[in-house]
Amino acid sequence: MTELNIADPTNTSVPVLSVSGLTKKFPGVLALDDVSIEVRSGEVLAIIGENGAGKSTLIKMLAGVYKPDGGTIAINGEVQNYASPADALKAGTKVVFQEIALIPEFTVAENIFLESHLITRIGTIDWPEIRRRARDIFERAGFALDPDAKVGDLSISQQQLVEISRALAHDAKLVIMDEPTSSLTPLEVRHLFEVIERLKSLGIAIIYVSHKLEEIFEISDRCTILRDGKWISTQPTSSHTNDSLIKDMVGRSIDDLFPRSERKFGDTVVQVDGLYTHNRLDNISFNVRAGEVLGFFGLMGAGRTELAKAIVGYDPISAGSIKINGNLLSPHSTIKSKSLGLGLLSEDRKEEGLMMDANVTRNMTLSALQKFTRGGFVNAAAETKTAQSFVDRFRIKLAKLGQPIRTLSGGNQQKVLLSRWLMYGLEVIVLDEPTRGIDVGAKTEIFALIDELASQGLAVILMTSEMPELLGLSDRICVLAEGKITATFETSNVTQEEILDAAIQ
Residues 166 and 22 in one domain: yes
Task: Share the mean pLDDT of the chain.
Answer: 87
Identify whether 2 is part of a domain: no
Q: Does any domain span residue 5? A: no
Q: State pTM to two decimals.
A: 0.61
Residue 331: cis peptide before it, omega within 30 degrees of 0: yes
9 within 8 A of 201, measured Cβ to Cβ: yes
Assigned domain for 499 exists = yes
Cα(388)–Cα(344) distance, integer angstroms: 22
263 within domain boundaries: no
User: Across-strand partners of 462?
Assistant: 295, 431
CATH number at residue 85: 3.40.50.300
- Give the domain-ending residue among 192, 223, 256: 256
Query: Does 11 map to a domain?
Result: no
Summarize the confidence of residues 167-194 as an average pLDDT: 85
Question: How many domains does one find in the chain?
Answer: 2
Name the domain boundary from 231, 256, 281: 256
Across the range 304-314, mean pLDDT stands at 91
> Is 277 a domain residue?
yes
- Is residue 329 situated within a structural domain? yes
Domain membership of residue 239 (yes or no) is yes
pLDDT at 174 over 80: yes
**Same structural domain, 151 and 104:** yes
Judged against a pLDDT cut of 70, whether residue 476 lies above it is answered with yes
- In the structure, what pLDDT confidence band is assigned to residue 388 with cuts at 50, 70 and 90? very high
Q: First CA to last CA across the chain, in angstroms?
A: 58
Q: Quick one: 351 and 384 in the same domain?
A: yes
pLDDT for the residue 21: 96
In this structure, the answer to whether residues 300 and 196 fall within a common structural domain is no
CA-wise closest residue to 18 among 195, 207, 201:
207
Report the pLDDT averaged over residues 197-225.
Answer: 92
Task: Return the higher-pLDDT residue of 142 and 132.
Answer: 132
pLDDT tens per residue, range 433-467: 888 777 777 788 888 889 988 998 999 999 998 88
Say whether 31 sits in a helix, a strand or coil. Answer: strand
Q: Are residues 161 and 50 in the same domain?
A: yes
Max Cα–Cα distance, the chain, nearest Å: 83
In a shared domain, residues 239 and 356: no
Same domain, 293 and 379: yes
- Return the amino acid letter for 391: V
Average the pLDDT over 385-391 and give the result: 89
Same domain, 167 and 200: yes
- Give the pLDDT score at 293: 97
pLDDT class of 118 with cuts at 50, 70, 90:
low
3 pLDDT more than 70: no
Neighbours of 439 (CB within 10 A): 23
Structural domain ending residue among the three candidates 256, 280, 313: 256
Specify whether the CB–CB gap between 245 and 225 falls below 8 A.
yes
Four-point Cα dihedral 254, 258, 259, 260, nearest 10: -130
pLDDT at 119: 66
Three-state secondary structure call for residue 309 = helix
Better pLDDT: 325 or 124: 325
Instruction: Say how many C-beta atoms besides its own lie within 10 A of residue 333's C-beta.
Output: 14
Is residue 82 a contact partner of residue 32, using CB atoms and an 8 Å limit? no
d(CA 245, CA 263): 30
> Among 320, 356, 325, which residue's Cα sits nearest to residue 339?
325
DSSP 404: B
Task: List all residues 6 or more positions away from 356 whose beta carbon is below 8 Å from its beta carbon.
Answer: 350, 404, 405, 406
Give tens-digit pLDDT for 64-77: 999 999 999 999 99
pLDDT(238) > 90 = yes
Mean pLDDT, to the nearest integer, of 262-279? 93
| One domain, residues 392 and 492 | yes
Whether 350 and 458 share a structural domain:
yes
CB-based contact 146:138 (threshold 8 Å): no
Residue 254 has pLDDT above 50, yes or no: yes
Whether residue 7 is predicted with pLDDT greater than 50 in this model: the reply is no
Would you put residue 326 in left (φ > 0), alpha (ψ -120 to 50) or beta? left
Return the pLDDT at 6: 44
b/e map 122-160, b = 16+ CB within 10 Å = eeeebbebbbebbeebbeebebebbbeeebeebeebbbb
Residue 245 lies in domain? 17-256
Tell me, yes or no, whether 25 and 103 share the same domain.
yes
Is 275 found in the same domain as 225?
A: no
